[in-house]
Structures are given as structure tokens and as C-alpha cells.
Amino acid sequence: MFHIREFREEDIYDVFVISSQSLTELYSLDLFIDIYHAWPQGFLVAEMRDIIGFITGTKIGDSARILMLAVQPKFRRMGIGTALLNRFTFVAKQERMRSLYLEVRVNNTNAIKFYQKHGFVITSQLDNYYTNGDSAYVMWKII
Ligand code: ACO
């Protein structure tokens, strides 16, 4: 069984490894720390014995922007991403935010299906958004 809790700075290397395995874009350790300090309550991890997934976000006006969500490959399709997103939504609602949004690579079919299952809709496309030239969909959800 896993549980969701707030990120702690000692989790940084585990989160960094999951991010490097799961996300196409490369992010630095410093970036994770900056994101954490900007909104500690919006940085959550899923823990079994080890860290098996995480979600991070930032507050922009009355919206929460999901910056990264990833689950270790062998723990996918078990509800962990859903639990992370649900807790993140709960935190955002507690802080009186009214919507969630994110960018996702247009060819990331699994993540798009995941977010659609959770009520997000594609509202626009950002061409040439990622370092390798891939485009992104912007997806929104009112909470
Ligand atoms: N094929 C089809 N649908 C999928 C798939 C898949 N491989 N993976 C997830 N889904 C959708 C389905 O609707 C599924 O529901 P179902 O199992 O009842 O059919 C639901 O999502 C699964 O939900 P969870 O089990 O809660 O999701 P999971 O723990 O697997 O996490 C996540 C989903 C985070 C997208 C995971 O696949 C992952 O880590 N992917 C790699 C990293 C990534 O792409 N992250 C998103 C980048 S965009 C951003 O971060 C803003």
C-alpha cells in the first residue's frame, strides 16, 4: 500500500531519478528545490517503502499549474497518479484556487488519456514548446 505526503528535501534524489526516467525533458536538482520553496504544499510524493511517484505545481493567480507528474514505470496503472492528482486538487481547492492547467506533449497519449479521464480538456496547442521541438497541448479543468 502507498500513501501520499508532502515532499521533503531529502526526497530530492528519488524524485530526480523518477523524473529522469519518466519525463522527456531534463530538469536540474536546483529547479526542484526552487519549485518546492515557491509552493511547498503543492509538491507531493507517493511513498511505498521508497518514493514511487510525485507531482509538482505552481500557483498562478487563482489557478494551479501542474508542472510535473510522474509514477515509476513498474507502479503505473495502479491508481497512484490518480491519488497524487486528487491530493493536489484538494490542496489547490483548500487554497481557493478555481482551476488546474498543464502542458503535455501532443504525442504523450497515455498522459492525455489520464488527464481526460480526470476531467481535463484540451484548450489550445503550443507549437515548438519543448526543447526537442515537440508541441504541447494545454489542458484545463475547473475545480
Ligand atoms: N494507456 C491508456 N490509458 C492510460 C495509460 C496507458 N498506458 N496510462 C494511464 N492511462 C489513463 C487511463 O484512463 C487509466 O485508467 P484505467 O487504468 O482505468 O484505464 C488511468 O489513466 C490510470 O490512472 P492511474 O493508474 O492513476 O495513473 P498512473 O499511476 O499510471 O499515472 C501517469 C499516470 C502519471 C501519466 C503515468 O503514466 C506516468 O508517469 N507517465 C510518464 C510521465 C508523464 O508522461 N507524465 C505526464 C507529463 S505532463 C505533466 O506532467 C504536466
The amino acid that residue 14 corresponds to is: D
| Each residue's pLDDT tens digit, 101-141 | 999 999 999 999 999 999 999 999 999 999 999 999 999 99
Full-prediction pTM beyond 0.85? yes
Q: Of the candidates 103, 1, 91, which has an alpha carbon nearest to the alpha carbon of residue 43?
A: 91
pLDDT (0 to 100) of residue 24: 85
Strand partners, 66: 57, 102
Position in ligand 1 atom list of the atom nearest CA 55:
50
Q: What are phi and psi of 37, to 5 degrees?
A: -70, -30
Task: Confirm or reject: Cβ of 70 under 6 Å from ligand 1.
Answer: yes
For the purposes of burial, counting CB atoms within 10 Å of the CB of 66, is it exposed (0-12), middle (13-18) or buried (19 or more)? buried
- Phi and psi at residue 4, in whole multiples of 5°? -105, 135
Ranges of residues in the chain whose predicted pLDDT is under 70? none
Report how far ligand 1's centroid is from the alpha carbon of 110 (Å).
5
The pLDDT value recorded for residue 26 is: 83
Which pLDDT score is estimated for 25? Answer: 84
